[in-house]
Structure 1
């Protein structure tokens, strides 16, 4: 009885293997075709990747992001070839199961890596934004410096003190940022004050001429001089003018040159730039403090 059952089991195994062999022989042409199609899509993905790499090189300066975009495109092409190959093998049920499983796994991964994916997609957006490029001087999230790197997770800013700041991409997308390098010229503000005895019209004309000579204006640009108010020891004003500026250092440099030129012109014309003076008055019984201007 046991020998009979063993023979039946062996016979069943051989019948099953024979059925699989027959099925393999019958589906061999489809299998070969599916393999060839899959290999063909791998080759196509390779050439498409090269084409996109050349195209994105003109628009994306960041190597890490450009390579990631090319890899994603190649992976999509290869996946299309894989699904077509499964269809040729009449594995529709397997294809449906793979898609369903991929959806569930993708959802789980998306929930687990929500913050990381947010930074990744933000990095892809930043890579195509002309408003932010490597080498630009920007102010964002309380930091200012030159953009040295943009990758799929963050941007790196080199501050004027030579320290680096790493800011997540999502912060850049969500928060406003100021880019000094997007415009070749910007307006500079210089504030000063002159003594109450000064001829205000002469001071205005002198200051305007000094700034115009030092910083030639272009097109519709003009130098503006406006008195702001009466101070404790001076009548204060602000002068505004345009200069070549692409980073914060240029602003400081232009303001530096303007201050030197204004001070030199005032010294030649005898214009007083007052400063507060504190006088100590020692009387017999008390000490009084008087403030006056020079």
Structure 2
């Protein structure tokens, strides 16, 4: 019994000696941990202010600020463990963190890909909330760029939710990057029309609706082909606009005004027709052969 008591006392004494000898290191560890905590809060606030000037996405700003503050806390924790001469514990933590990070990364590969893609989209200057874009077969106004998905509001007021990774990996068209866009209209007029008059009427009509000189652009007009039932042309003009709706409105207005101008000038816009000619002077045998050929 005395032997056991002696062993216990010796063990307690050794612990006490170790505690007393490590008191300075323990004090340093406590100070470092406390400082890292307050510094992390300061870093969090400073990072939010710095990032918010460039990124208007609140969730992204908070995520970056939290990552920055977490790095500061982890750095303080590792310094505190080093001060306590717990190198083996530190190595164990690093090894465990590496293995855990690998497992979590493999399990959440798709989610993490969308998250990082959302961060990249938030920093991109060529796509912002409020822009009118066309991507992945959808077109509409950008309503939200979240950490996991991208939200478009189409012209019919439907919301389209697209994974961020899909936006990054595929091309998109942003109508809002420029303040001007060019509209193209294709049309055909009858063969009996005077081509010079058609060109003049088209240019005068479109210039009266969309003043090209005011936006320092030039209207274009070209005949393209002799079609089956019409002589076809294209005309291209510029408008001030930043969305697909502006394009549709301008094209609709141009078509209405061109139709009115052509009607007023008796210019025909033909539709495809087929003329059947029956010649009564054909011999009976030739008519019969023709009928048999048609039946075959």
Q: State the TM-score, normalizing by the size of structure 1.
A: 0.88
Shift of 1:266: 1.8
Tell me, in whole angstroms, the C-alpha distance in 1 between the residues paired with 2:91 and 2:134: 50
Which aligned segments of 4 or more residues in structure 1 are displaced greater than 6 angstroms? 278-285
Instruction: Tell me which residue corresponds to 1:292.
Output: none
Tell me, in whole angstroms, the C-alpha distance in 1 between the residues paired with 2:9 and 2:196: 112
Instruction: Tell me which residue corresponds to 1:60.
Output: 55
**1:24 is aligned to 2:19:** yes
Instruction: Tell me which residue corresponds to 2:115.
Output: 120
**1:209 is aligned to 2:204:** yes
Q: Which has the higher strand share?
A: 1
Tell me, in whole angstroms, the C-alpha distance in 2 between the residues paired with 1:219 and 1:139: 25
Q: Deviations over 1:203-229 (max 9, x none)?
A: 112211221221122565211111121
Instruction: Tell me which residue corresponds to 1:260.
Output: 256
Secondary structure of the structure 1 residue equivalent to 2:160: strand
Shift of 1:282: 11
After superposition, where does 1:55-204 map in structure 2 within 5 Å? 55-204=50-199
Aligned length: 282
Tell me, in whole angstroms, the C-alpha distance in 2 between the residues paired with 1:205 and 1:55: 57
**1:240 is aligned to 2:263:** no
CA pair 240-9 structure 1, distance change in 2 beyond 3 A: farther
Tell me, in whole angstroms, the C-alpha distance in 1 between the residues paired with 2:4 and 2:275: 116
Instruction: Tell me which residue corresponds to 2:271.
Output: 275
Q: Deviations over 1:24-73 (max 9, x none)?
A: 12212221221121111221121222121112112112111111111111
Shift of 1:155: 0.8
**1:35 is aligned to 2:30:** yes
Q: Deviations over 1:131-178 (max 9, x none)?
A: 111111111111121111111111111222222221111111111111
Tell me, in whole angstroms, the C-alpha distance in 2 between the residues paired with 1:70 and 1:134: 21
Tell me, in whole angstroms, the C-alpha distance in 2 between the residues paired with 1:121 and 1:266: 55
Secondary structure of the structure 2 residue equivalent to 1:196: coil
Tell me, in whole angstroms, the C-alpha distance in 2 between the residues paired with 1:73 and 1:101: 21
Find the partner of 2:226 among 230, 241, 254. Answer: 230
Unaligned runs of 5+ in 1: 286-294
Shift of 1:113: 1.4
